[in-house]
Amino acid sequence: MPSLIATPALQGLTPVTHGSLTLAEATPARLTSVAPFRGQAEAVGRALDPLGLRFPAANAVIEGAGGRIVWTGPGQAFLLDADPAPLAGLAALTDQSDGWVGLRLSGAGCEEVLARLIPIDLRPQVFGPGTAARAPLGHMLSVVMRRAEGIEILVFRSMARTAVHEITVAMAALAARQAG
């Protein structure tokens, strides 16, 4: 019987640097889908309060001492790096930790790189810290978040290699254009 060895989806793929741009792994240790049950939205907000969080409005990511929560659709969010136990009985909770990977693109020009792949305006004056969106990255579903450290992108684990490839090609093209 073969022995299987679990390996990280981004092993050997990151970090990648081109010029001032760096693509690095930013996979949350824990990722839980949260969908409040009917009539429980306020109770979910109260349960998140001890973590320094609240249920996010559309296109928002909220950071607190206990983790982050990012809007992923109407009545739905991802709880990142936080224990979802206080939400039990108040929301449908699904552990998605093994299904997603996170990437962080940082450095001058990261918005220009992603403009080639994501059809939303990522300039800081439009997509500032605390902003999130669900948008395609090329042909892949992604969740995009602006953080102080750069732009973070969540993609399905099965698309990790493709996401790194697409972003890396765009990084190299921008670096070549800036150098020439």
Query: What pLDDT, on the 0 to 100 scale, is given for residue 55?
Result: 96
Q: What pLDDT score does 134 carry?
A: 96
Looking at residue 6, what is its pLDDT? 77
**Together in a domain, 127 and 69:** no
21: containing domain? 16-28+98-179
Residue 119's φ and ψ, nearest 5 degrees, are -85, 45
In a domain, 158, yes or no: yes
- Whether residue 4 lies inside any domain: the answer is no
Taking residue 88's Cβ as centre, other Cβ atoms within 10 Å add up to: 9
State whether 24 and 105 are in the same domain: yes
Length of the chain: 180
Cβ contacts of residue 114 below 8 Å, gap of 6+? 105, 122, 137, 144, 151, 167, 170
- Tell me the average confidence (pLDDT) per consecutive run of 10 residues in the chain, 180 residues long: 81 93 97 97 95 96 94 97 97 97 96 96 95 96 95 97 97 86
In a domain, 8, yes or no: no
Residues 52 and 78 both lie in one domain: yes
Strand-pair category, 100-106 with 61-64: unpaired
Q: Are 65 and 151 in the same domain?
A: no
- 35 lies in a domain? yes
With respect to residue 1, please indicate whether it lies within any of the assigned structural domains: no
144: nearest Cα among 115, 170, 173: 115
Among 57, 77, 95, give the residue marking a domain's end. Answer: 95
Could you tell me if 107 and 91 lie in one domain? no
Asked if 90 and 37 touch (Cβ cutoff 8 Å), the reply is: yes
Report long-range pairs for 172-178 (Cβ below 8 Å, ≥24 apart): 172/18, 173/116, 174/18, 174/19, 174/21, 174/109, 174/112, 174/113, 175/18, 175/19, 175/21, 178/19, 178/109
On whether both 172 and 112 belong to a single domain, the answer is yes
Pair 128, 84 in one domain: no
- Any domain includes 7: no
- Position 7 scores a pLDDT of 80
Residue 95 is predicted with a pLDDT of 98
**Structural domain includes residue 113:** yes
**DSSP label at 60?**
B
